């Protein structure tokens, strides 16, 4: 579905946040220091970043500034125990999309994450309609003509990513990264099999194959 980079050096907090994100259907990769985080965010394709400021190696504010200087526009939510308003202003001026002070409720973190993802995609709502198919990102549910569809987590990740990127051909390697876990090694034809299974469940021509390029859900589907 959606790859999230979690940058947090407190192992207990990182574990709690990762479990909450994974339970909500996100794929999560964790960095515990600033230098690894800067490299990951500068070279990998993430839908969003949850970034702590108090990091070893390189502080989070420096990481964020470097990303923005290098033209990286991925949404960033800053997480910090520091709650002073001058720091909030500095973080927003540095390019943060949102700011959340510790301690925080997981429900608020998830709501803010959904919000920045919608804004980044130009959406005003968590509901995305594609013809007879509707994606509800908040409920993590797909429905066909109003009736909910029973999808596995992999199937949901696949169709939700394609719908959120509707109108764009998504290359196979990119789709693999967002559907399967970072350390998973699926068979070469696993994605094709998964797409076929989703098509049968949908029963409508939503996902189009572009041979040699990838898959696409039409913008006006």
Most confident residue range from 39-43, 67-71, 112-116, 216-220: 39-43
- Per cent of the chain over pLDDT 90 is 33
Show the tokens assigned to 53.
């400021």
pLDDT value of position 188: 65
Give the model's confidence band at 34: pLDDT under 50 very low, under 70 low, under 90 confident, else very high.
very high
| Residues β-bridged to residue 154 | none
pLDDT value of position 137: 73
User: Rounded CA gap, 145 and 133, in Å?
Assistant: 6
**153-207 per-position pLDDT tens digit:** 888 888 888 888 888 888 888 888 778 765 566 776 888 999 999 999 888 788 9
- Per cent of the chain over pLDDT 70 is 89
Mean pLDDT computed over every residue of the chain: 85
pLDDT value of position 195: 92
Average pLDDT over residues 106-114: 90
The answer to whether the beta carbons of residues 101 and 80 sit under 8 Å apart is yes
What is residue 4's DSSP assignment?
A: E
Which residues, in sequence order, are CB contacts of 215 under 8 Å at separation 6+? Answer: 162, 169, 170, 172, 175, 195, 207, 208, 209
What is residue 99's DSSP assignment?
A: E
**129-158 per-position pLDDT tens digit:** 888 888 887 777 888 888 888 988 888 888
pLDDT value of position 5: 96
The answer to whether the beta carbons of residues 206 and 221 sit under 8 Å apart is yes
Average pLDDT over residues 29-38: 96
pLDDT value of position 62: 93
In our burial notation (b when 16+ CB lie closer than 10 A, e otherwise), range 169-201 reads ebebeebbbbbbeeeeeeeeeebeebbeebeeb
Cα distances from 57 to residues 41, 69, 83, 90, 93, in angstroms, run: 15, 19, 22, 20, 22
Lowest mean pLDDT across 58-62, 90-94, 102-106, 193-197? 90-94
Q: Burial of 56 by CB count in 10 Å (0-12 exposed, 13-18 middle, 19+ buried)?
A: exposed
Give the model's confidence band at 123: pLDDT under 50 very low, under 70 low, under 90 confident, else very high.
low
User: Rounded CA gap, 189 and 126, in Å?
Assistant: 32
- Residue 28 above 90 pLDDT? yes
Of 38 and 54, the one with more pLDDT: 38
Question: Domains of the chain (ranges plus CATH)?
Answer: 2-120 (3.40.50.2300), 127-217 (1.10.10.10)
Beta strands in the chain (DSSP E): 2-7, 26-31, 48-52, 76-80, 98-101, 127-130, 133-136, 141-144, 147-148, 170-171, 207-210, 214-217
């Amino acid at each position: 579905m959606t790859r999230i980079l979690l940058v947090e050096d407190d192992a207990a907090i990182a574990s709690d946040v990762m479990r909450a994100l994974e339970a909500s259907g996100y794929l999560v990769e964790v960095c515990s220091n600033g230098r690894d985080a800067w490299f990951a965010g500068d070279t990998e394709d993430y839908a969003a970043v949850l970034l702590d400021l108090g990091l070893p190696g390189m502080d989070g504010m420096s990481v964020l500034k470097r990303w923005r200087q290098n033209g990286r526009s991925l949404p960033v939510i800053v997480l910090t125990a520091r709650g002073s308003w001058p720091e909030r202003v500095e973080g927003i001026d540095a390019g943060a999309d949102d700011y959340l002070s510790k301690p925080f409720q997981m429900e608020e973190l998830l709501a803010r994450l959904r919000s920045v993802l919608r804004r980044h995609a130009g959406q005003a709502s968590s509901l995305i309609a594609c013809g007879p198919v509707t994606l509800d990102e908040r409920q993590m549910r797909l429905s066909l003509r109003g009736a909910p569809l029973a999808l596995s987590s992999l199937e949901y990740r696949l169709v939700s990513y394609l719908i959120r990127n509707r109108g764009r051909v998504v290359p196979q390697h990119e789709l693999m990264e967002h559907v399967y876990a970072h350390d998973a090694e699926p068979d070469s034809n696993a994605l094709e099999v998964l797409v076929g299974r989703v098509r049968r469940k949908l029963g409508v021509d939503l996902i189009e194959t572009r041979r040699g390029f990838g898959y696409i859900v039409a913008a006006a589907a």
